Structure 1
Amino acid sequence: MNSKNSLLSASAIIEIPFHDCDPMNIVWHGNYARYLEVARCELLRKFQYDYLDMNESGYLWPIVDMRIKYVGSAVFTQKIRIDAYLKEYETRLKVDYIISDAESNKVMTKAYTIQVAVDQKTKEMLFASPQIVLDKVQRAMNGEPRAV
């Protein structure tokens, strides 16, 4: 779980809100999945394939695997940075994440998610990513301008 061999990356900054914390002002562990989602959406936008684009293309992309390793705890009002790294896209979307303190850069959490394409009509899982994803990622990696 690191940025090495990353194909594309994106980041998001979040200030920890009170409603995400337990009575000790520490972020409840289940909220980390939402933080990953924020950074993943930023990453998907990098290659123009966020959730609206997925829906329009005829594919669902459920998360089929997620791993989170808690190294340290985030607390109320702390600013955290969530870095998302696209590691695989040809057969599935594998994204690695590093959550760190936005000021000190101290790593607090490491994670990954894996999403697979599912045809909206047949509900069948695909064993390769649809061509639209391959094309969009390749364009983004080549630095081609976004289509309007």
Structure 2
Amino acid sequence: MFVHEVKGIRVRYADTDQMGYVYYGNYARYYEIGRVEALRSLDFHYKAMEDSGVMMPVYECHYKYLKPARYDDELSILVRIEELPGVRIRFAYEIRNQERVLLNTGETTLVFQRMDTGKLCPAPDKLLEKLRPYFEPKG
């Protein structure tokens, strides 16, 4: 299993609603920050993948709101990839505040898609090479 934590995401005033809570739609953006930075930590970049003709649109997104994030909170996003991708990749998320209180959990499933044809395709070899060591048996 691959795990990466992104720290220091500051909640901006524009991210909040009239109640002072992070607006629910902004969690999709936080998830995107988490997954992009998790892949970047593997030296795998969305831009390079897209330049090679493959994109990763979101297929499913699920959220569970446990407690509100508020203006000026400093969030951390724990990202897990629990299985090697095929034509789909699933990310699991935990968002915590600066006191390490669990605020939100969720998952997104993305698919690998050829930009020229719109057809699904396998995960890029480079991504599989980067992830494979995290899924090999230990011992």
Q: TM-score, normalised by structure 2?
A: 0.87
Q: Offset at 1:82? A: 1.0
Q: 1-side partners of 2:132 and 2:52: how far apart?
A: 17
CA deviation string 1:40-81 (max 9, x = no partner):
111111222221121123211111011000001011111111
1:129 equivalent to 2:113? Answer no
Unaligned runs of 5+ in 1: 1-5, 143-148
Which stretches of structure 1, 4 residues or more, deviate above 6 A after TM superposition?
Answer: none
Q: Sequence identity of aligned pairs in percent?
A: 26
Query: Structure 2: 5+ residue runs without aligned partners?
Result: none
Distance 2:21 2:2 in 1: 33
Deviation at 1:90, TM superposition (A): 2.7
CA displacement, residues 21-55 of structure 1 (integer Å, 9 cap, x when unaligned): 11121111001111111111111112222211211
| Partner SS for 2:25 | helix
- Supply the distance in 1 between the matched residues of 2:28 and 2:106 (Cα, whole angstroms): 9
Q: Choose which of 79, 94, 99 in structure 2 pairs with 1:98.
A: 94
- The match for 2:60 is 65
Residue 117 in structure 1 maps to residue 100 in structure 2: no
Give the secondary structure class of the aligned counterpart of 2:51: helix
CA RMSD, Structure 1 to Structure 2 (Å): 1.7
Q: Which residue of 2 aligns with 1:56?
A: 51
What does residue 88 of structure 1 align with? 83
Distance 1:41 1:112, change over 3 A: same
Within the alignment, does 1:18 sit opposite 2:26 as a pair?
no
**Aligned length, in residue pairs:** 134
